[in-house]
Structure 1
Amino acid sequence: MISFTERQRLLVQLLGELEGAISGADLAALLGVSVRTVRYDVQRINRGARTELVVADNSGYRLARVAFRDYLAQASEVRAPISNAERILLYLTTHPVTDVYDVMRDCYVSETVARSELARISSELTGKGLSLSVTGARVQLAGSELALRKLIGQMVRQAMDTVVGRNQRIAVHFPDIDVTSVHGTVAKVLAKSRIEPNDIHLENAVITLAICLQRRNSPLTQGEYSPSRWSPSVDKITLEVLEALVDLYPDRPLAAVDRAYARDVLAVTLSGHLQIDEVPSEVDQQLENAVRQALTLTIEKFNLPIPADKQAKLFRGLSEHTARLVARNKLMPYFHNGLRESLKSRSPLIYDAAVYMADRLFRGLGLPLPDDEIGLLAIYLGLYSEATTFGDGKITAVLVCPRYGTLRDWLLSGLMHRFGERLRIVDMVATNREAIGCDADLVISTLGEQEMGPDTVRISALLSEEDLSCLENALTVAATRRSRRCMAQAMARFMNPSLYFADSDVTTSHEAIRFLCGQLYETGAVPEDFEESVRLREAYSSTAFARRFAVPHSMDFMAHQTSVCILIPRRPIPWGEAEASLVMLLAVNSADYDEFERFYQPLINLLMDPQRFAEVQKMKTFRDFSNYLVQKLSA
């Protein structure tokens, strides 16, 4: 059995994202280690697997995908060691009253490590309904059973995000329960009733039920949980699931309150998949008003392209979703959205809109939304938004063609028939001289006169296949040229060499945000409360991407001047659950939002590519950095 460290799991993940090979130096830079350490990790992975999972040759390192897939299929488990803090927390969930020496013995840590981790855990439990006290040698974890289950759910959620060794890390939390068997049992009962909940809701219900079964010796009490009332048909389905779980684990019957709790978990999970009269919808006026206001403000602020007729349907869907969310927030100790990271990286603007809406819902309803729930809001907003276009997206052209009968009309008709979705003729003139100085991306000329420059493509008046091919190439070149020009203009406006900081000694995300916000404030680009807004945005959802870079920004478009502040630390900075080797703080003025939107998504896409990111890290000066971005973003 092979045991991957966190760094080795990340190494495998990075290689899995690449199509080809990557040099040892680039891979080391991405991981924030030396080339020697990369060689050691690769040797450790291959030696432990007894096969070449990572290929090293003259071209660099690459993942042997077939060998890796076969190995995972044959290995019983790929082990992922858990941290000391997680091991101690797991121990405390079953031994809430203990002493330091038992923690040392059963968690395999020294007294110094035990006391240090206990102190850190104590501070992290603040605001979670739990408290950890260490008095002399005595250790006590206090709080309600429901709060404790939520803590376990959070640890399982972190295990779910593990790239390699996920199953083993999840199993650590369920030593007596087979989560796969619980999933199969629940799905089988629901299938008999022709109910097919989506994978996200089913997974969350299964994990919550597994936590109930695992914690059967610590049942909920009537004082901390009051069951809800559901229609007879809902009761019938949920009871069938619970009976099937009793058959699966006859030696782990649930207490009365836990059975009622499990029934409510299932009912809330199924509420979005049954007829509306099957489950009472608690969409009261206050909730509807809060959702309507949050949605309206979000659409206006982010200029979301949602037609008016779709807005009404979106509002209804979000209102019902929010009502279920209220119930789920009270019930579910575990919620995980596996689409979260792809939504953040592939649709960052929609995700930012969802974060803003989550903040408005919290202000209106006092309803806290974790990162995974925000991902569901992003799905709603994205599904109802139409594709964004900047202008009409077409290449503008001046057509040079002499007046000769219906020749112009025939030629124009042919051009629009073939290139109508990409080309817009803004003017027609008779000579090349008349086209000089016209405001267009391209000149299409049927004349063979003097040279006109690189923006001119010559064709015959009969539009032969060769002409069409030349036009196809010319349109592609013109689009690239215009994109490069727009990108260069945006970079020149938004990026400033005085706001570029390489080889920084900053070591924490808190310090990085404070430093960069301070720099922007000194230049007059942002107001005094800008940093507070940036931290609020970060509190809702980490702005770290792909465990490589972070793009912090404010919740509101409050900058006096749109600016990009760049920091490249000497060593990767811990950023939430990830690390950042590049930090780009964005300050956006609302008047520049449309122009900013044009390059924000391409910027994220570029930095998500491990190979490109490794190249970015090599840029030591602002000029090299900005030129590289302009070149790659407009390619």
Structure 2
Amino acid sequence: MGGGAASGNALVFPLRRKSPSAPHVVDWSAMTAERQEQVLGILLRRAGWVTAADLADRLGVTARSVRSYITAINALAPAGDAIESGPHGYRAMPSAAAVRDELAGAQHGAPRERVRGIIRRLMGAPEGIDVFDTAMSLHVSDATVEADLRRVRGMLTDSELTLQRDDGMVALAGTERSLRRFLTRVVLDDLDERVFDTEALERAADAMGVPAPGLAEFRAGLIARLSGLGFAVNEVAAAEVMLRAAIAVERTRRGRSTPEADDDGGPDRVRVGEVLDELAARHLGSHLTPADRRHLAGVALVSLVEPGESSDEPERRVAEAVSVALRRAAATYGIDLSEEDFVRGFAQHVHNVVQRSHEHVGSRNPMTRAVKLASPLVFEIAVSVAGDLADELGVAIPDDEIADMAMRIGSLVGAEPDAGDVLTAVLVCPGFEGMRNRLQVHLERALGHELAITRVETGYAQDWAGIDADLVLSTIDPSSTGDDRIVRIQPFLTSRDIARVADAAQRVRRQRQLRGLRSQMRPWFAPTAFIRNARAAAPEAMIRLLGDALMREGVIDEEYVASAIEREARSSTAFTESLAVPHAMTMSAVRTAIAVAVNEQSIDWGAERVHVVALVAFSETDRAAFQTVFEQFVDVFADPDNAARIVRRGDTLEAFLDEIAALIDAPA
């Protein structure tokens, strides 16, 4: 019997531990599914056409592989329409998000999904999990689980949690509040830009052991009730508040409650807490504990409620730090940030930022990418202010918070369009006069801030080339083709017509701006500071490489390079998916100059992968050039097709500049 038992035990171990000498087997199906999910992620973020070449480069595969991924993805959609194909490439359709969720859920064996599964086990087992038992249940080696635990440990940075080890047992140690914060972050990070999709949020929460089928109703009720109480509500923050409520209900149901508070936190917390408790009982199946009511009400007041509505006034040190940071930014960028109401409101906002940081509440801003691209200079001012505040107040301020600050600063410093920004337009509309008059009135009402109709033509025979205007709005087909000024509209104006005219106006206005850049840009580029296919795999290495080139030109010193690296650490300078524009936080260069690296293979730059890196050194005397570079040079690369053309053909500095000039001179 003893020998039999020993023999039986011996047979168990090969199942629990894979032999070190066993060959590594690549799970090609999991890899393909992960690539398909990456394709959907890129298309959903871009929200427009993306070429096969661009997708192939970002994935590190061939265009043929991309086409096979697209075919497989569409096969997963009920109507076969997750991704649309066209002359301009591919774009995501409404069903794409659901297919992405399905792919993510199917990848139980993929590293990311396996790590999430281990986190779920750790959250549900305060005594810990057995590494070997976990490996067996997941059908992987214990070495694989150990590697996954190292990934979990890396995710615990700033979470106030630790992984504690006792032989083969591993436990997640920390307070219940910290555990809940960490679980919230895991769910929201998995959602990425879909954090505002309530159905996706419900699925992601359920995957982490938090069933929450009533979140859509919870969200609607929360916004309506808080608005009814007189609060100005920031709807984009609702996801975190309602997810935390769902987690609180589920953890309490499992006997994992938080300590009771000594007081109720004030009248606003009481009112908001009562709303949250009522909604939790109605839509999540249980009341909140008094401690959770108080805590979640505080989270709502610093994230969901707009500044000025919270009962908490800014601390003196916060108000003083805001005043100093705004004065410094105003002096650096030559703008006025001293308006009293703005400063007061900005201080209240920063007070909430500090409270969110202490509470580990994320600020998910869906406008971050758009703000960064549309207003690079305003975003840069916000980075400067945020940097000073982070240093003075000792809090981390991420890009989403910086974008929120940029929107507030932009509302103050953004100039209204002057007469020079308004385009001229001629309306060509033969036929009934009453219809023509109504059309003109509707155009001016919808687009009066964009253009001024200077003349109305009523004849069918027109000298199209002879019409002197920025745009020609016509209800008839022109006899000549190729004139990009002509926009065909319907006699009875539709929303599609308005969008078409607005796009054309934006195209013309952008072309004007870029022509101003062409006349100024050539002297800025240092002849010896152009690098093709630079061997630098990370932002800091690339900044040092380009910085060395400008130092050899006598333009900057080592201190400027160090400042550019520090600026990059505050917020990524990847302003488009193809271009990064690193720069220092001071204008201390001897003269304004640009060093450029153009890489055929994209390199990681923050959350993006870029092909072109332009290290810009500004001098104090060229303060005005700062805005020109950011608002216009970045604009050249905003179109992925433009960027691809420049990368493909710009093999020397002259060729690089010629391609930019050709794009600037192209018809609007």
TM tier relative to shorter chain: 0.7 to 0.9
Task: Write out per-residue CA displacement over residues 216-240 of structure 1, whole angstroms, 9 at most, x where no aligned residue.
Answer: 3433335xx7666212x65234313
Partner of 1:380: 408
Compared with structure 1, are the counterparts of its residues 480 and 364 closer, same or farther at alpha carbon in structure 2 (3 Å cutoff)?
Answer: closer
Equivalent residue in structure 2 for 1:553, among 563, 579, 583:
583
Partner of 2:319: 288
Equivalent residue in structure 1 for 2:572, among 516, 534, 542:
542
Compared with structure 1, are the counterparts of its residues 618 and 75 closer, same or farther at alpha carbon in structure 2 (3 Å cutoff)?
Answer: closer
CA distance in 1, matches of 2:306, 2:421: 39
The question of 1:182 aligning with 2:250 is answered no
Give the number of aligned pairs.
546
Partner of 1:625: 656
Equivalent residue in structure 1 for 2:385, among 326, 342, 357:
357
CA distance in 2, matches of 1:377, 1:338: 14
Secondary structure of the corresponding residue to residue 571 of structure 1: strand
Deviation (angstroms), 1:493: 2.4
Partner of 1:115: 146
Secondary structure of the corresponding residue to residue 544 of structure 1: coil
Which stretch of structure 1 is more off in the superposition, 375-384 or 109-118?
109-118
CA distance in 1, matches of 2:511, 2:99: 51
Equivalent residue in structure 2 for 1:591, among 621, 628, 640:
621
Partner of 1:500: 530
Among all aligned residue pairs of Structure 1 and Structure 2, give the percentage whose two residues are the same amino acid.
Answer: 22
Deviation (angstroms), 1:594: 1.0
Secondary structure of the corresponding residue to residue 558 of structure 2: coil
CA distance in 2, matches of 1:481, 1:242: 55
Compared with structure 1, are the counterparts of its residues 566 and 237 closer, same or farther at alpha carbon in structure 2 (3 Å cutoff)?
Answer: same
The question of 1:218 aligning with 2:226 is answered no
- Long gaps (5+) in structure 1: 396-420, 423-464
CA contact (8 A) 2:580 2:614 kept: yes
CA contact (8 A) 1:271 1:324 kept: no
CA distance in 1, matches of 2:419, 2:619: 20
Partner of 2:455: none
Q: How does 1:105-504 map to 2 (within 5 A)?
A: 105=136, 109-133=140-164, 137-162=168-193, 167=201, 168-169=203-204, 171-173=206-208, 175-178=210-213, 179-190=215-226, 192-193=228-229, 195=231, 197-216=233-252, 217-221=255-259, 229-231=265-267, 235-250=270-285, 252-269=286-303, 272=306, 279-304=310-335, 311-387=339-415, 469-470=467-468, 486-504=516-534
CA distance in 2, matches of 1:576, 1:379: 22
Which stretch of structure 1 is more off in the superposition, 289-298 or 584-593?
584-593
- What one-letter code is carried by the residue in structure 2 that aligns with 1:383? S
CA contact (8 A) 2:581 2:614 kept: yes
- What one-letter code is carried by the residue in structure 2 that aligns with 1:594? A
CA distance in 2, matches of 1:15, 1:282: 39
Task: Write out per-residue CA displacement over residues 270-308 of structure 1, whole angstroms, 9 at most, x where no aligned residue.
Answer: 65477x6xx5332243222211111111122122355x6
CA distance in 2, matches of 1:271, 1:190: 8
Secondary structure of the corresponding residue to residue 572 of structure 1: strand
- What one-letter code is carried by the residue in structure 2 that aligns with 1:628? E
Secondary structure of the corresponding residue to residue 580 of structure 1: strand
CA distance in 1, matches of 2:653, 2:46: 29
Deviation (angstroms), 1:527: 2.4
CA distance in 2, matches of 1:15, 1:265: 31
Task: Write out per-residue CA displacement over residues 457-512 of structure 1, whole angstroms, 9 at most, x where no aligned residue.
Answer: xxxxxxxx999945879xx9x99998666423432222234222222343333433
CA contact (8 A) 1:17 1:610 kept: no
CA contact (8 A) 1:495 1:565 kept: yes
CA contact (8 A) 2:527 2:653 kept: yes
- What one-letter code is carried by the residue in structure 2 that aligns with 1:520? L
CA distance in 2, matches of 1:84, 1:202: 28
CA distance in 2, matches of 1:137, 1:520: 55
- What one-letter code is carried by the residue in structure 2 that aligns with 1:593? R
Which stretch of structure 1 is more off in the superposition, 32-41 or 550-559?
550-559
- Long gaps (5+) in structure 2: 1-31, 424-449, 452-462, 472-484, 486-507
CA distance in 2, matches of 1:565, 1:623: 13
TM-score (normalizing by structure 1): 0.74
- What one-letter code is carried by the residue in structure 2 that aligns with 1:585? L
CA distance in 2, matches of 1:180, 1:394: 43
TM-score (normalizing by structure 2): 0.71
* Superposition RMSD in Å: 4.0
Secondary structure of the corresponding residue to residue 61 of structure 2: coil
Compared with structure 1, are the counterparts of its residues 191 and 480 closer, same or farther at alpha carbon in structure 2 (3 Å cutoff)?
Answer: closer
CA distance in 2, matches of 1:386, 1:202: 28
CA contact (8 A) 1:504 1:567 kept: yes
- What one-letter code is carried by the residue in structure 1 that aligns with 2:623? Y
Deviation (angstroms), 1:53: 4.3
Compared with structure 1, are the counterparts of its residues 467 and 169 closer, same or farther at alpha carbon in structure 2 (3 Å cutoff)?
Answer: closer
CA distance in 2, matches of 1:339, 1:364: 26
CA distance in 2, matches of 1:300, 1:511: 31
Deviation (angstroms), 1:108: 5.7
The question of 1:33 aligning with 2:61 is answered yes
CA distance in 1, matches of 2:66, 2:289: 52
Partner of 2:638: 608
Compared with structure 1, are the counterparts of its residues 174 and 141 closer, same or farther at alpha carbon in structure 2 (3 Å cutoff)?
Answer: closer
CA contact (8 A) 1:558 1:588 kept: yes
Deviation (angstroms), 1:337: 1.5
CA contact (8 A) 1:564 1:584 kept: yes
CA distance in 1, matches of 2:169, 2:352: 42
Deviation (angstroms), 1:357: 0.5
Compared with structure 1, are the counterparts of its residues 319 and 541 closer, same or farther at alpha carbon in structure 2 (3 Å cutoff)?
Answer: same
Task: Write out per-residue CA displacement over residues 65-119 of structure 1, whole angstroms, 9 at most, x where no aligned residue.
Answer: 7xx33x4599795443545544444443334622333443455654343333433
- What one-letter code is carried by the residue in structure 2 that aligns with 1:374? I
Deviation (angstroms), 1:269: 4.6
Which stretch of structure 1 is more off in the superposition, 352-361 or 536-545?
536-545
CA distance in 2, matches of 1:557, 1:123: 37
- What one-letter code is carried by the residue in structure 1 that aligns with 2:132? Y
Which stretch of structure 1 is more off in the superposition, 609-618 or 234-243?
234-243
